[in-house]
Structures are given as C-alpha cells and as structure tokens.
Chain A
Amino acid sequence: DQQVKQNSPSLSVQEGRISILNCDYTNSMFDYFLWYKKYPAEGPTFLISISSIKDKNEDGRFTVFLNKSAKHLSLHIVPSQPGDSAVYFCAASAVAGGTSYGKLTFGQGTILTVHP
C-alpha cells in the first residue's frame, strides 16, 4: 500500500533549466508535506515543506506546490545546478487524533541529474 508515490524514477535536466519533480498521495489525512534530498551514503537532508493550508511555498530556488483536490504536489527547482543532482524524496505526515507524531511516509524517490 504505497500511500506516497513518485512515479518518475529519474529525471535529467540541463543546467539552468527548471526541474519539476512530482509526487502523488492517496491518504487524505496527510496534512504536511516535505521534500528531502539525498546524496549517496548520506542521510536525507530536509529541503522544503508545505502545510495543507497553503498551496505554495518558496525558498530561494526551490518552490513546492500543493494541489489538495488532486492529492498532488510538485517541487520546482529554478535554475537547476549540477550540485542539485541527487535523489529527491517526497514525504508526508498526518495529524491523527489531534496529535501529530511527525511520522513520515516517503515516496520511492526520483533521481535528478543536472547536466552542465
């Protein structure tokens, strides 16, 4: 039961262009969404997040968009740089019974390659 899905295993982009990574979820209880970036042999690094009360959050070159009706979110990276090459994970958490434990459900990840 994959509640968070990243359907594109990989994405290749030219330096300077926009990278768009997509994520779909099925659990309507999810109310907080995060993107993590992971380099080989390292743990995931937090990138950006968005609460379900918003539809957009921006941080420098990174913007996350949330479409609650479609249960879809995306991460835009503009402009893309070779150092952005990594695996990107979408994650979601839910408030259950009025309490948020912060437990994350992750997608399978998308490998982003930015070519110089």
Chain B
Amino acid sequence: DTGVSQNPRHKITKRGQNVTFRCDPISEHNRLYWYRQTLGQGPEFLTYFQNEAQLEKSRLLSDRFSAERPKGSFSTLEIQRTEQGDSAMYLCASSVQGVNTEAFFGQGTRLTVV
C-alpha cells in the first residue's frame, strides 16, 4: 500500500523543545497539505505545497512553524520552541493536481507537549 505515510506516529516533547515531523505523499501526487486537528474539532488547514513551492500558509502557522518540501516529494513540518497549545494531531494529505480532486490523508502524528 503506497498511501500517505507520516512519521513519527506519536511524539511527546517538553515545552520549549523543537520537533520535526515527516510526510511522504502518494508518489504521483504533486499537491501536499498539512492540517492540524484538536480534540472535538475538524482538521484545520495549515499550509499547502504544489511540487516544492509553498503556495499558501494559514494565519494559524505562527513564525514558530515552518514547512518544507525541498524536492517536491516528502515534506517536513518543524515546530520550534513548542508550547502546550501545540498539542494536537498533525495530518498530512496529498492529491493530484486538478479541479475537484480528493485529498488522501496519512495516519497523522500525535504531538503531546508536556
């Protein structure tokens, strides 16, 4: 199964530490998205890549957050100086380019900041 893969699945970190998550999209998908989901809420859009270009960033993505997709394949999401409010499920999704195409999600990375 060559679905969207996210690593790690779980991450516990101390407040103030930096963390980095990785997403490997479906190989032929040139669009990649990061979302964040907190308890009782739906996923919220964070950022979007088309190939290696980061084309949109949500205002939710503070300057402590940075995302990259250096070769248009895998992507990383880094959170610097983590805060307890960063605790959430971080979801990556990918899709093919085009109008009205569905996004396929990975299993997510559960971040807990203690």
Contact = CB atoms under 8 A, between A and B. Distances in A.
Interface of A: 4, 6, 31-32, 34, 36, 41-46, 49, 51, 89, 91, 93, 95, 100-109
A46 B50 CA distance: 21
Bin the interface of chain B by size.
20 to 34
A6 to B, nearest CB: 8
A100 B100 contact: yes
Nearest to B96: A102
B42 A102 contact: no
Given A43-B4, A100-B100, A101-B48, A106 B42 contact: yes
B41 interface: yes
Contact of A46 (B33, B91, B103, B108): B103
B95 interface: yes
Interface in B16-40: 31, 33, 35, 40
A87 to B, nearest CB: 9
Contacts of B101: 102
A108 B42 contact: yes
Contacts of A100: 98-100
Given A89-B42, A103-B56, A44 B100 contact: no
